[in-house]
Amino acid sequence: MNKLPLHCIVLAAGQGTRMKSAKPKVLHGIGGKPMVGHVLDAAEALGAAAVHVVHGHGGDQLRAWFDRHYGSERKVYWAEQAQQLGTAHAVSQALPAIPDQAQVLILYGDVPLISVATLGALVAAGDDTLALVTVELAEPKGYGRIVRNAEGAVTGVVEENDASDAEKRIREVNTGLMSMPATRLKQWLAQVGNDNAKGEYYLTDIVAMAMASGLKVATVSAASAEEVEGANDRVQLARLERFHQRQQADALLRQGLSLADPARFDLRGTLDHGRDVSIDVGCVLEGRVSLADGVSIGPYCILRDVSIGAGTVIEAHSVLEQTVIGAAAHVGPFARLRPGTELGDETKVGNFVETKQAQVGKGSKINHLSYVGDARIGTDVNIGAGTITCNYDGANKHLTQIADGVFVGSNSSLVAPVSLGAGATIGAGSVIASDVPAGGLTLCRAREQKSYARWQRPQKNKKD
């Protein structure tokens, strides 16, 4: 039935004053992605031939976000609506870039959770039909009401401010999302006036025009009230965020992921997981996260662009960013793995350890209180508590190389650039500023230990 290319118009010119924000409303995020990003992704998933965004003030911010996020991968036609004179006027701004031979789909940039399934049903109504997404609300106040005749056919949409008392009792409302042939849309919009209670050009006026012209008018029911809900303030935004997070969590649970509490789980990106993966409460996952079979994530961890191998355990309160971890490793509690960290299989990184641009070979351990940055560490290395790679001289970063089987005693400072040969042992408390040969013991500290028997500790002044 659909022969014509699909052109989506995303209305995003509303000021969004109630957000009380310097950002355009549609850039406020749900699940870590601007609302308008959800809508654009839905249009993409529908296979739209072109997407047109109608923006108002803040268009520069919108374009800047789009370029940053999608780069040259996707194209959008931008149309500015300098003054917000109503939804019909907004749609008109996009018309010059829309060919006659097109099916048009109207979307709202501030209705982020609309499902591809619902939109698919709307578009499937055909390119010779005016199709509307409607929903039944217990509290329809504020919305345009769907007016039907005795046969149940839609005869028009009446806005709240123009509705009679009887019409106000109608609970089926217009969500604003609709589809129609471009030729008809162009004819109708030319006829829409602003002689109504709000003095605006109402897009909804086209419904009665379609009916009068004998065009088929169809409706599609929304699957939930939330998927067609707009966010005008931060209370609504937070409510939609919770709904979205719960939907994601439930989908993951159905796929076999174990979540200690789906209400205390936040995914702001994508998660790939194997079998028997479990995530405890309070975790935030961002970007692209991949967890292989049997991975266990303790409570209150943050994972941002992370890939973790099978059977690895991440303990509570660990923060991992741009990190790759092998299988059967053990991290945390309280570990901080910064960008460029690569931990091999069976590695251990314990509490209060910070790593950055560090490759750690199979079976190596950094168990307590260390900073390991700009380092290449071989296999079966043991880094003692309190060891620091002094990688920064105030201007440049330098590399620390530690070969297989090295044992670094506690509280050593490794002053980079420096390299430690295979199997070397470093005595505790050493400051290692020159390369260390393989094997043997190397230490660098005050030569003798002395004791002063009559030494007196400083005393606190007693207050009188």
Judged by the rule CB under 6 A, the positions of this chain that interact with ligand UD1 are 11-14, 54, 81, 84-87, 89-90, 108-110, 143-144, 157, 159, 173-176, 202-204, 230
CA 463 to chain centre: 57
Catalytic residue among 57, 317, 368, 398: 368
Of the pair 143, 265, the CB lying nearest ligand UD1 is at 143
* Burial environment of residue 105 by CB neighbours within 10 A (0 to 12, 13 to 18, 19 or more): buried
* Residue among 201, 147, 158, 157 at smallest CA distance from 178: 157
Token pair in block for residue 381: 């290395």
Measured from the CB of residue 386, what is the shortest distance to ligand UD1 in angstroms? 56
Of the pair 203, 436, the CB lying nearest ligand UD1 is at 203
* Residue among 338, 345, 134 at smallest CA distance from 225: 134
Measured from the CB of residue 185, what is the shortest distance to ligand UD1 in angstroms? 14
CA distance 41 to 326: 33
Of the pair 16, 386, the CB lying nearest ligand UD1 is at 16
User: Using CB atoms, what's the residue nearest to ligand UD1?
Assistant: 144
Measured from the CB of residue 18, what is the shortest distance to ligand UD1 in angstroms? 11
Rounded to a whole number of angstroms, the distance between the first and last alpha carbons of the chain is 95
Measured from the CB of residue 408, what is the shortest distance to ligand UD1 in angstroms? 59
Say which residue the tokens 């590399």 belong to.
399
CB 431 within 8 A of CB 412: yes
Query: Is 273 an annotated catalytic residue?
Result: no
Measured from the CB of residue 295, what is the shortest distance to ligand UD1 in angstroms? 41
Of the pair 49, 82, the CB lying nearest ligand UD1 is at 82
Of the pair 180, 426, the CB lying nearest ligand UD1 is at 180
Of the pair 202, 265, the CB lying nearest ligand UD1 is at 202
* Residue among 101, 99, 110 at smallest CA distance from 77: 99
Neighbouring residues of 187: CB distance < 8 A, sequence distance ≥ 6: none
Question: In the beta sheet, which residues pair with residue 295?
Answer: none
**Rounded to 5 degrees, what angle do the CA atoms 119, 122, 125 make?**
150
- Report how far apart, in Å, the C-alpha atoms of 449 and of each of 389, 427, 442 are: 26, 15, 18
* Residue among 344, 421, 430, 350 at smallest CA distance from 387: 430
What DSSP string runs through 405-462?
A: T-EEPTT-EEESSEEE-TT-EE-TT-EE-S-B-SSSEE--S-S-----TT-----PPP
Of the pair 90, 222, the CB lying nearest ligand UD1 is at 90
**Rounded to 5 degrees, what angle do the CA atoms 48, 53, 58 make?**
155
Rg (CA), the chain: 31
Of the pair 38, 362, the CB lying nearest ligand UD1 is at 38
Measured from the CB of residue 145, what is the shortest distance to ligand UD1 in angstroms? 8
Of the pair 54, 314, the CB lying nearest ligand UD1 is at 54
Measured from the CB of residue 179, what is the shortest distance to ligand UD1 in angstroms? 15
CA distance 454 to 312: 53
CA distance 57 to 74: 22
Measured from the CB of residue 55, what is the shortest distance to ligand UD1 in angstroms? 8
Measured from the CB of residue 326, what is the shortest distance to ligand UD1 in angstroms? 47
CB 10 within 8 A of CB 176: no
CA 34 to chain centre: 8
Q: Which residues are catalytic?
A: 368
